[in-house]
Amino acid sequence: PRSAADMHEARELLGDAGKEIGLVAKLERAEAVANDATLDAIIEASEAVMVARGDLGVEIGDEKLIGTQKRIIKHARSLNRAVITATQMMESMIEAPLPTRAEVFDVANAVLDATDAVMLSAETAAGDFPVETVEAMARVCLGAERERIAQASSHRIHEGFERIDETIALSAMYAANHLTGVAAIACMTATGYTPLIASRIRSGLPIVGLAHNPIAQRRMALYRGVISLPFDTSDMAAGELNDRALERVVAQGIAEPGDHVILTRGDHMNAHGGTNTLKILDVNDTHRGH
């Protein structure tokens, strides 16, 4: 896209049949990143954006690429959209079993910039070492996420909020980052929106998205630090939802007895935008073995 109008046109072409389809804007044209107003409008017209560094570098020049990558990631996160960093991340691994130091730093820097996802191209599509490339990339991402800088946040700290669900999501992250003994943030969600908002805050803790809707599950898989788990509440009584959610998190090995889990949910399950509750739950021994 050159402008938000291209994204709006794509959405119109999808029509009603494609209204659940998320659009990722591939940012590779000079016009798209020429100024903040154009960039922000494209981001807001999309579910996610991709920093397509190959074509973008050709268009704007390599020397502008690093600053532009950082700007796109920062803006996408401020506007509550997911962002993917792509192209030549581990290019040498098309033919070699180990990445270069420069590639290690590149992937780690994208993670420290707070990208939601890193993406491979020829390395896994046509390369000689696809499995090794994914393993190397995962190793570097996890290493970068252990750095303190990747876990500290000042996201929207001076802003007022207008939505209740956003307020709960951001409160959950603030609590998780400051209360000792928290193992995870669990969000019961119909659409995946609360985990998206929560994942805009840097944290060293996993955010668990518990959703019945497979579309929400797939979306959440893209968000930074979010673990997307199926969670069907249709046969559950209102009073057992919290316990079942904790059991799901314990069964996944994310929390264990003695930990705290912060849970966000709505009073009415499966109501869009209904998240209005934050609870801090203890994982106790009764959940062991479920």
What pLDDT, in 10s, does the model give residues 125-137?
999 999 999 999 9
The Cα–Cα gap between 161 and 171 comes to: 11
Q: Is the pLDDT of residue 117 over 60?
A: yes
Q: In this predicted model, what pLDDT tens digit does every residue of 145-169 receive, in sequence order?
A: 888 776 666 666 666 777 888 889 8
Residue 90, CB-side half-sphere exposure with 13 Å CA sphere: 32
| Backbone angles phi and psi of 118, in degrees to 5 | -115, 145
Q: Is the pLDDT of residue 183 over 60?
A: yes
Q: In this predicted model, what pLDDT tens digit does every residue of 40-74 receive, in sequence order?
A: 999 999 999 999 999 999 999 999 999 999 999 99
Mean pLDDT within 223-233: 94
Question: What type of residue is 220?
Answer: M
Of 13-22, 213-222, 266-275, the one with minimum mean pLDDT is: 266-275
Angstrom distances, CA of residue 112 to CA of 150, 227, 259: 5, 19, 27
DSSP string, 115-176: -SEEE-SHHHHT-S-HHHHHHHHHHHHHHHHTSGGGT---TTTT-----HHHHHHHHHHHHH
- Listed in sequence order, the residues at least 6 apart from 128 whose beta carbon sits closer than 8 Å to its beta carbon are 94, 95
Whether 261 contacts 249, CB under 8 Å: yes
Whether 175 contacts 278, CB under 8 Å: yes
| 3-class secondary-structure state, position 25 | strand
| pLDDT in the model for residue 161 | 73
Mean pLDDT within 230-239: 90
Angstrom distances, CA of residue 45 to CA of 1, 30, 190, 200: 11, 18, 21, 18
pTM of the model: 0.85
DSSP state of 206: P
15 burial class (0-12, 13-18, 19+ CB within 10 angstroms)?
exposed
Q: Is the pLDDT of residue 26 over 80?
A: yes
**To which residue do tokens 């929390």 refer?**
255
